[in-house]
Structure 1
Amino acid sequence: MNTLPKLTLGLIKAYQAEIARSGSTATAKRKMVSLKKFLDWAAKEGKIQDVGFKIYDSESKNQNERISAKKAVNTRFSNLYKRYRSIPGTSYLNIAILVILSSALGLGIYNQFFKNTTNPFAATSLIRPNRYLSFQGRLTNQFLNPITAVTSVVFTLYDAASAGTTLWTGTCDVTPDTDGVFSTLLGSDCGSEISSSVFSDNASVWLGVKVAADAEATPRIQIATVAYALNSETLKGYPASSSATINTVPVVNNSGQIVLAVSSPKIQSTTGTFAIEGQAITIQTPSASNGNVTIAPDGTGQLNLTFTGASPGSGTGMVNATDANLTSGSLYYGSVASDASGYNLLQLQSGSSLTNKFVVDSAGNSSQSGTLTFGGTATIQSTASRALTLGGSTTGNITLNPLNAVAGGYVAPNTTNVTDLGTSSLLFRNIYGTTLYQGTNQVCDESNNCNFATGTNYWQLNTLTLSPANNTYDLAIGGTATSSAKFQAFALEKAADATSRLAKLNSSVITTGTLFEATASAITSGNIIKLGQGGNSAFSGNGLYMDFDNTGGGGGTFTGNFLKFDDATTTKFTVDASGNVGGAGVGQFGGITTTIFSRFGTAASGHALSVASDVLVGGKLELDGTFFLDGGTIANSAGTGTITFSATPTTSSNALSASNWLIENTANVGQAALIVNQQKAGDIFTASASGTPKFTIQNDGDVNMVGDITVGGGNINTGNIAFVIGDATTDGITFTTDGTGNGEYTFSVDGIGDADLDWGTGAGQIDVTDVENGSVNILLETEIDASS
């Protein structure tokens, strides 16, 4: 709501009277001048009508009253002067007064300008005056007759006319003259020296006098002020000097200066605040002295510059540093000579609630809350080719406003064609612009038409996606044709044949290294490479196809790997040029649940492993179940090895500690449980103990054994062949019994041949003995050949 039209001359005058009453004249005048300027502006802008307000100060306002008062005073003075002139002899009185004034004036001028004054000098080693008082009195008796005899007198100084505190006391004998008059020096002839505090600490001092045995006389005598002035030419012995040196009192000289002529003088305040006050204060060194001005607060003391003005009087600044001759160094310089940190070299704050506006910390980092403006051409740069970063963890958007937003302003590198925008690892997410140029060639315009030259538009931008203007175009990089391009992206829509492909990488230059590389250093999960059809149509092709001789002409030999997977430079899985598969871990086929051992299949029935060729086990083959041989032969493929059955797989021993090898036939009646068919010249069967043969069935059927043969019943039948016990190397044959019964040894024949006891051609005999009873019977059921 606009209230300016309500301003009236009466309201303004009321305001003028109020500020004149409540403030000083200067303040009231300043406020009224400001109000007058505002009213003039408001009237000029048409906000209000001119109310005819004029400023009158208090002198102008009361001018008539003062003139009237002066006239009244002049009238009264004129009447008094007429009465004075009517008195007889006033003319002589006037002359006398004039002579007196002239004499006084002449004497003053003489004493001030012509009389030679003496300058007192103090001794080099100051000697203060003695502090004592001169006292003179007269002693009389009760008849007022003079007392001339030596009399004891007590003198006492008090701080009050009665009672009070004793400041000093002294007792002495005085010798009056014939008239009873005596004189003495208190503090010298009478009593000890008077302390300086008696006069410096007390505004008034009284003297009490007591004569002999009488009471102290009353009233006490007040010491006159003149008694404090122990000397008049020096101040406590210190002479005044307009060029003060040691032990002199400085004075203001004729130039209004206090001069201290001593070397390295010092003005010191031992307590409180030492203040220097003046209309204006200058601290300077003499011209051409090249002296320094040092202000050095001690400890945690501060140098505080406190201002109360609304603006600097000179129109520059509240703190100014000027030097018209500076050619080197710094106008402002500050240093912190330590390696400490955490402080600010400069901190500027403002606001009713103080906040930082400009700060430079101990590391030289600067921050400001406002706008940084440069006058003229300016450069922001770092030293020693160090990186320069705009923005940090707390920075919002950064806006560049060249040429104050006038069309044609630009942000450009300092040197053409040497500066990149972004790096291979520090990318801009999006780049927005109305028109895009490559050199002098326009690439895209403001209507999203993109081309490499003027004329036909070959590119289009749609929802942040850049694509060829015609979606059937192919994209080739590194060449202009499919045969020379290093990278190609094909439009599948142009052909639906076996040669259609989404992208093609083609190189005829690279002889070693990597043709295609995809890395993601920050990825921690997901897929590095993912291939898929991207739909649900039937698919009968290859998910991944490799052909290292795709011309079919039998070129160079492929000796590398189709696949090779490494982890931390250690190979874990390979598929070589021959199709051999190698893996550092276990294999799982027929299922996806890995175990600590390799297996083929997870079915509960059927064959988990079925092969059409040989299965080679280079190590040990462990069977946890039953081993079935459906119709083949267990053989050594090389024909020279040994097949060993062992209860302990880690050794070659065939000793059985907790079980035995069982060959059992429970189904095929009439079949042998174990058939050994030796088709070569070697032994049919050999049984060993600790590597030593104990039982052998030779190729011709002979049985060789080491040890005894125990027949637990039955016969040893040989058929239609001779049964021979022993040979030419046999030392002897012994037939024994176990000693529990009658042992019989029967040699029977089948009626065809003879049963011979033949010990060959050597010398020998048949001994028949009974090792138990000492005798034996021989029963012969046939005749004994005499020749035998």
Structure 2
Amino acid sequence: MKNTLFSQSVIEEYFHKIDTATSLQQLHDFFSSSKEWLDWLKFHKKIEYDSYNKSKKMLIQHIEKRSEMLRIMSTAKSAIPFWRYFLIGFFILVCIILLFNTSMWFDRFVFHADLPQNPSSGKMVLPFRGILKDADGIAIDTKKDVYFAIYNTPYEGSVLYSGFCVGENGIVPEYNGVFTVTLGTDCGMKPIPEEIFDNNASLYLGVRIDEAEEIAPRYKISTSGYSQDTALLGGLPPGTINTSIPFIDERGSIVIDAESPRIQSTSGIFSLEGQTLSLQTSENTPGNILFQPGIGGNTVVTSGNLGLGDLTPKTRLSVVGIEPYSAIATLKNLATVDEPETSVLNLALATSTDGSNATYVNFYSHATNDELGDLVGSIRLNNNAVVYKTSAADIAEYFQVYEQGPFLPGTVMTISGKGIHRGVAGEPVVGVVTNSAGYVGNMTSKEDHVLIGLVGQIKVFVSTVYGVIHTGDRVGTSNMKGYAAKMIDDSGIVGHALEDMDTQSKAFSNNRCPQESRNMRDDSGNRISCGKILILLE
């Protein structure tokens, strides 16, 4: 049966609580619990659709009626400004909207002791909400004896006030273990003496179910901001409703229950100060953090280091990230003009223009979270000019080739009527295939293009076919495709050797020669050896 959990007596009990609410805070609490109970029944299909709608309409009627009564009662005490009427009307409107837009409502019951309220001079009451669960965490829906005690210490200590709901007055959870009770008035409890709140900076509420031990830890009761009329602060009730004073909850958080709250300073400087400040969006519903100064204003960090992805920045600006398929920083100037002043980045040094050591940019590799890594290049000042420093050695360009690859670094390349290919004797030399260029031109990603070094120092494939090469020897093309050798005429020069061929080392052997050339012999009849030496291209 869908109506098994829906009891007319329960909804009438809610109506009774609404009809006897003494403040907007209580009205909100009773409205919240009744609203959630009805929505829970609907979600679990424990109530008929007609009964659900009928109960919602009746709930609205009781809310409107009691709100009007509270207004009349307040008017009898003192004249109320117009904005108070507006707030009461706004509260009623919010209740109606929330009832008919369940997807906009989110509430959560936990054990929670609200701020103390002062319905009559010298006497205090304390609204309390909680959830009854057994040892397995399953909600309890049966009547239970509940005992309450107020202390001024979180552990042990003397009882300053006690009350209970037992026997016929035992607490019956409204649904899913949720219950509400007002200490100092419900279950025949005597009011809480006001001096308990006056004489104690901190108070703690202990709760015991049946004959079990007191639940630990005790619940801290907020006494900050207490005055002779704690139920109204600045004319508004403290609590979580939109028309209430923001309050500090049990976690020390300032709670502002509004869709888009704002803290605004109308003049002067608005300051936030603390040993450490943290701004973060909700983990459940992440959003952006926006810094937006007014027109003509600036966002300024006056001291310290700024880290983006770096919790311990060692420079004024440190950006750290792990992005294997993208950059970690992007600078754009979207201006479409073409003027000398149009640029993306300005780098400036205060060093004299005749300096030659100060750097504009340093480049590192093998970086870690703690270390910059190995310096591989830089852009530095150089006597009223700029110089680019790199550990690479040659200047290269991409050239189209007509042969099939691969073309290993160190391969000599020449040109014929068909185009560029592995070098052979008698043809003009283009350069040497490289993977260590310090400057690269004609950048392309086409597969039929090869990066060829034109100027500088490059490791080149050589052989002993025309003899052993020594430092300073001229090196040129040979009858082994792609391999250089000691020059025997003036044609096909590649460059000058910067080191000797050490034919006794493992770096040179017959096995390092191309397969088709391993049977070749030098002028002395010895099998040739092949390897690489450093050559200055010419």
- The answer to whether TM tops 0.5 is no
Question: Rg bigger for which structure?
Answer: 1
Give the helix-richer structure, 1 or 2. 2
Structure with higher RCO (Cα < 8 A, 6+ apart): 2
| Greater share of residues in strand | 2
TM-score scaled by length of structure 1? 0.20
Normalized against structure 2, the TM-score is what?
A: 0.28
